[in-house]
Structure 1
C-alpha cells in the first residue's frame, strides 16, 4: 500500500527541514540606576531607530534595578530622562546595546551626576564546573575607594569601577566592602555556573551591599527574565519553525486520512 510510504516520506522531509539545534533568539536586559547624586529618572527602552518605547520605568531611584526583560536579538537604545519629564523631552543620556540570543546584559547609569554615563555590562560567561562568577560594582560616592573581599579574593575598587567577573568557588560566600571605619557585609549563595553581582551603595548610614543574581548559567534564562510586567514589555512568542512543522504535519495526516476514506476510483 502506497499511503504509509507517502506519510513516511512527508515526515522524513519535515524532519530534515527542521534545524537540529535552533539558536536562541532571545536575550535578556535589565536596567539600573547607580549614580548616587542623580535624582530619580524615567528609563526608556526603544528598538534601535524607533520612537515607540518597548519598556518605560518611571521614577527609578538610586540603587533601583529592574528584573531582566525578554528581548528579541537585535539592537536597542536605552534613554534616561528626569522623572516626570515628557516622553518627547530630549534624554539626559542614551546608549545603544546589541542583544545577542541567549545572553544577558545590565545597562546602568554610572558615575556622578555631572558626568553620568550609561554603561552596558555583559552578564554572561562560561565557567568551569564547580565555579561561579562574581563581580563587585563600586557605586558609593561617599567612599571613593572601597576594599572588597570574598574568600581569598581581595580588590580595591574606585568609584564607578565595573570590573570583570572573577571565578570563585560555588558556595556561600561572605562579601565584605570596607572603607576606613565603614564596613558592610553580605552572605551570598553562589550557584555552580552562575554569574553574580554585588553593588556597593551609599546607605542611610554608611555603606550597604546589593546582591544580584545575573545569568543562572550559559544559555539559561536569568531570574526575572519572564517578568514582563514592568512597562508591559511584549512577549517575544514561541519560535516559528515548530508551529510550521506542526501545521505541515497536520496537513499531511489530513490528506492521508482523506484518501483512506475515499473509495478506490471514487471522487470527493
Structure 2
C-alpha cells in the first residue's frame, strides 16, 4: 500500500459562491482522471457537498490495521478531490474540523473499493443531518463528437430539481436530493442549462468536450438559490490534470450546436426521469 499522501484541493466553486446569484454561470471544472487501473486496484475520490459544514480535513485509512492511505487538507464546500488509485478492500473515511486532528469526526463511514471500479464518495446535507453516499462512476468514454454526463442533486434548498435548456425544454425532471441520475450520451458542445426546484432557480453554461465523461453537481449558492457545477470525470487528453478541482473548459463540438441540442434533449428526457 502506498505511503500516506496529503493533497491540497483547489476549489473552483469558491469564486462561484462569492459571486453567486440567480443566473450564475460557473465555468466547467476538471477533476483528475484515472489512467488504466492495475490488477486488484480501484479508484476513489471524495467530495464536500454540505453547505453549512466548515472546512474539514479528510482521512482515509484501512479498516484492518488503521493505516492512513491518504489525507486531504481543509476541504471546503463544493470541492471534489482527484481520484486515488487504491488496493481493493474496505476503508474508513473520516472528516474532522480543519486543523483539529484530535477532534471528533463530523462524520465517519466505511467505503469499499472494488477491483477496476471508480467511485465518488460525498458528504452532503446540512451539518445537523450530515450524510454520506457513494456513487459508482462510469468512466467509459463515449467516442469522438460525443459526451457522457449525469447529474448529482446535492442542493439542500430543493427536495428535487428540474433541469431544462434555456429555451425551456425539459432535460431532467424530479431529480431527488442525494441521488445521481443515470448517465446519458449526448452530442458534445456548449449548453445553457436552467435548474429549478422548491421555488429556487439557477443556471449554468457548460461546454462538453468530445469523448469526455462529466458530472453536473447541483449545489446551493451563497444567496440560497441553485447553481450547477460541472466536473469532468474522464477526458481523452494526452496528460490528465494532477490537482484537485481546476477551472477550465472543454473543446468545441464536432457537430453543430443545434443538432447536438436535439440529441441532448431526446436522450436526457428518456434517461433522467
Q: Aligning the two structures, in what range does the TM-score lie when normalised by the shorter sequence?
A: 0.5 to 0.7
CA change 1:201–1:215 in 2 (3 A) is same
String of CA shifts for 1:95-115, please: whole Å, max 9, x gaps: 2121433x4321101233333
What is the DSSP-based 3-state SS (H/G/I as helix, E as strand, rest coil) of the residue aligned with 2:178?
coil
Among candidates 103, 110, 115, match of residue 129 of structure 2 = 115
Question: Is the 2:97–2:105 Cα contact (8 Å) retained in structure 1?
Answer: no
Question: Is the 1:104–1:222 Cα contact (8 Å) retained in structure 2?
Answer: no
Q: Normalising by structure 2, what TM-score?
A: 0.62
Is 1:61 matched up with 2:47? no
Cα RMSD between the aligned structures?
A: 3.2
CA change 1:49–1:38 in 2 (3 A) is same
Is 1:35 matched up with 2:50? yes
What is the DSSP-based 3-state SS (H/G/I as helix, E as strand, rest coil) of the residue aligned with 1:84?
coil
Is 1:157 matched up with 2:172? no
Question: Is the 1:29–1:68 Cα contact (8 Å) retained in structure 2?
Answer: yes
2: distance between equivalents of 1:114 and 1:222?
41
Is 1:214 matched up with 2:233? yes
Q: Normalising by structure 1, what TM-score?
A: 0.63
2: distance between equivalents of 1:94 and 1:182?
31
- In the alignment, which residue of structure 1 is the partner of 2:221? 203
Question: Where has structure 1 moved over 6 Å in runs of 4 or more?
Answer: none
What is the DSSP-based 3-state SS (H/G/I as helix, E as strand, rest coil) of the residue aligned with 1:153?
strand
Higher helix content, 1 or 2: 1
1: distance between equivalents of 2:147 and 2:121?
22
CA-CA distance at 1:197 after TM superposition: 0.9
CA change 1:23–1:41 in 2 (3 A) is closer
CA-CA distance at 1:221 after TM superposition: 9.9
CA change 1:189–1:100 in 2 (3 A) is farther
Question: Is the 2:162–2:171 Cα contact (8 Å) retained in structure 1?
Answer: no
List aligned pairs for 1:69-108, cutoff 5 A.
69-87=84-102, 89=104, 92-101=107-116, 103-108=117-122
2: distance between equivalents of 1:50 and 1:221?
38
CA change 1:153–1:168 in 2 (3 A) is farther
CA change 1:86–1:178 in 2 (3 A) is same
- In the alignment, which residue of structure 2 is the partner of 1:173? 191
- Equivalent pairs counted in the alignment come to 203
CA-CA distance at 1:216 after TM superposition: 2.6
2: distance between equivalents of 1:152 and 1:116?
31
Question: Is the 2:160–2:176 Cα contact (8 Å) retained in structure 1?
Answer: yes
> Structure 2 unaligned runs (5+)?
1-35, 245-273
> Structure 1 unaligned runs (5+)?
1-21, 229-268
- In the alignment, which residue of structure 2 is the partner of 1:147? 162
